[in-house]
Structure 1
């Protein structure tokens, strides 16, 4: 039985899901923070990839997904490295897809194939995750992955309530394998909080500062052979401890600036870090008058939010350090 604030009580009885939930690759996600480097400057940004993976499983389950798609939902993030998407910036991956590139290898080297085989399933169900359209769907459509991480972060960080979430979830319907919304008002609500997530939060100056500083530290550590890419398959705190144990003066200086108490400002002049994220737009399908239409074609509000999000993403974020708390040195 799984009990959580977003989806309430969910009874998981399928042996294959139970075994996968207890597997090492899935349990490891308890130590991978969804906010990546942001957690180290703001500890309240502490949602884990485990919470999100279980949430994605529960959401697609509630929407009628097959057991195979539920398995894919639970496992879709097992290849995320320590610090999540921070590693993409360290490796220069503009599409933020390093975890996707190594997914097949990570699964193959783990106990996942043997667990699946023992229950009569093949790892083929994990080939091309996007075939599971409740779990993954290209933007601007809704999908379980996109919905869960948005709701989960915004709830955990205090921007939306459980009541608002439940009102929204009750309007989700599936038409021809695609998640739609039966209320324009709820579609507008979700578009708004989605942009609170991918614009206001992802491009928060403190978040950008943390991502860029840790990416710089990781890149330097690779070049100095302080850590290897393989070590990124440990948990966040394990990798951070290895970095902090290094006696390299330059690395220690960088890490000393990655801690709670840091103060930054968004400033184009004399900036220290700049970050431009990949474009993430949302324009959900709304089921109205027995047909599906894009929310933006019905709502000037959604149309405007999409334009503002595009412009804001294109601009990126310029960040300058104001102050490091005196207790941040170690």
Structure 2
């Protein structure tokens, strides 16, 4: 199977990866938006969990990760519900980890274990936490973090393919961590990462969309229009359930999600407050004979980290001008 990716190029994949990509749990992710409610208010915010999952797998592969780590990368988001992290707001999961808590149950009750066993692989490999390319605790780099940053910003038109290629050339895996070979490449990624997790995640329009859709889903659940298990369907299916219910309270909220919404940030006069969990990045840089966090080498990164910490703790106050 030839897999073409807009960021990483063309790859020929082994049988088990091809079968997993065509499985129902992975195919469902084509209809689950990475940005939750964002695509309902901005047509450019439309990347999917499928594109990201395949991208993580390919990035792990590109960096020399084992077949097992590639599989784990492909499957790491299969438990995301419809509208991704909007559901964390629905169920008040401040750590944004609802999908992680249900991950094992979702995988075990799917066709994934059977596919892995058919290829003589242990289904438990999916649940291991020793994949250092795929996942690292903040503030380290990892394939998951790198891909969603690059993929979203490329889709939004914020960065170019040439910039992505240049960054990837400075990235390598050694001594159990992803490192960069120059301070400049680390500075570039830190700046781009905060365009993602601060400028985009905390954009007033994004906060607005999450808040309105979460209220619609909460109301739909309370009225038994949508059941919790329905959230394991996809975005459009859950939206259809709510719209076809003809419930005026739910549909009144949904009508507030469109491309002409106008909001602004205003802490003195606001209708909505939103915050996201703190995400600070500090890539490791190899400088001749040692590996150091870039914040110890760059005043620019230290300042960016301080600014991002302040904004994340402050959150976003949203004034609705036109909905």
Normalised TM-score (structure 1): 0.96
- The equivalent residue for 1:22 is 22
Using the alignment, how far apart are the partners of 1:273 and 1:82 within structure 2?
Answer: 23
- The equivalent residue for 1:328 is none
Using the alignment, how far apart are the partners of 1:246 and 1:258 within structure 2?
Answer: 17
Using the alignment, how far apart are the partners of 1:123 and 1:87 within structure 2?
Answer: 27
Using the alignment, how far apart are the partners of 1:317 and 1:246 within structure 2?
Answer: 32
- The equivalent residue for 2:11 is 10
**Does residue 88 of the first structure (1) align with residue 88 of the second (2)?**
yes
Using the alignment, how far apart are the partners of 1:15 and 1:2 within structure 2?
Answer: 12
Shift of 1:11: 1.6
Using the alignment, how far apart are the partners of 1:31 and 1:43 within structure 2?
Answer: 15
Please give the per-residue CA displacement for 1:260-285, whole angstroms capped at 9, x wherever unaligned: 11111111233221111100000000
Using the alignment, how far apart are the partners of 1:268 and 1:302 within structure 2?
Answer: 27
Using the alignment, how far apart are the partners of 2:273 and 2:173 within structure 1?
Answer: 40
Using the alignment, how far apart are the partners of 1:260 and 1:246 within structure 2?
Answer: 23
Residue ranges of structure 2 left out of the alignment (5+ in a row): none
Shift of 1:240: 0.6
Please give the per-residue CA displacement for 1:155-199, whole angstroms capped at 9, x wherever unaligned: 010000000000000111111121010111000000000000000
Superposition pairs of residues 122-201 of structure 1, within 5 angstroms: 122-128=122-128, 130-201=129-200
Deviates more, 1:175-184 or 1:146-155: 175-184
- The equivalent residue for 2:116 is 116
Deviates more, 1:212-221 or 1:304-313: 212-221
Shift of 1:320: 1.6
Shift of 1:290: 2.1
**Does residue 289 of the first structure (1) align with residue 311 of the second (2)?**
no
Please give the per-residue CA displacement for 1:209-256, whole angstroms capped at 9, x wherever unaligned: 000111111111111111011000111011111111122211111111
- The equivalent residue for 2:39 is 39
Using the alignment, how far apart are the partners of 1:287 and 1:215 within structure 2?
Answer: 43
Using the alignment, how far apart are the partners of 2:63 and 2:289 within structure 1?
Answer: 19
Please give the per-residue CA displacement for 1:71-92, whole angstroms capped at 9, x wherever unaligned: 0000000000000000000100
Shift of 1:137: 0.4
- The equivalent residue for 2:254 is 255
RMSD: 0.8
Shift of 1:292: 0.6
SS in structure 2 of the partner of residue 179 of structure 1: strand
SS in structure 2 of the partner of residue 44 of structure 1: coil
- The equivalent residue for 1:320 is 319
Using the alignment, how far apart are the partners of 1:219 and 1:272 within structure 2?
Answer: 19
How many residue pairs are counted as aligned between the two chains? 322
SS in structure 1 of the partner of residue 306 of structure 2: helix
SS in structure 1 of the partner of residue 125 of structure 2: helix
- The equivalent residue for 2:229 is 230
Using the alignment, how far apart are the partners of 1:290 and 1:166 within structure 2?
Answer: 25
Please give the per-residue CA displacement for 1:66-113, whole angstroms capped at 9, x wherever unaligned: 000000000000000000000000100000000000000110111000
Residue ranges of structure 1 left out of the alignment (5+ in a row): 325-330
SS in structure 1 of the partner of residue 135 of structure 2: coil
Shift of 1:4: 2.2
Using the alignment, how far apart are the partners of 1:189 and 1:107 within structure 2?
Answer: 36
- The equivalent residue for 1:265 is 264
- The equivalent residue for 2:79 is 79
Normalised TM-score (structure 2): 0.98
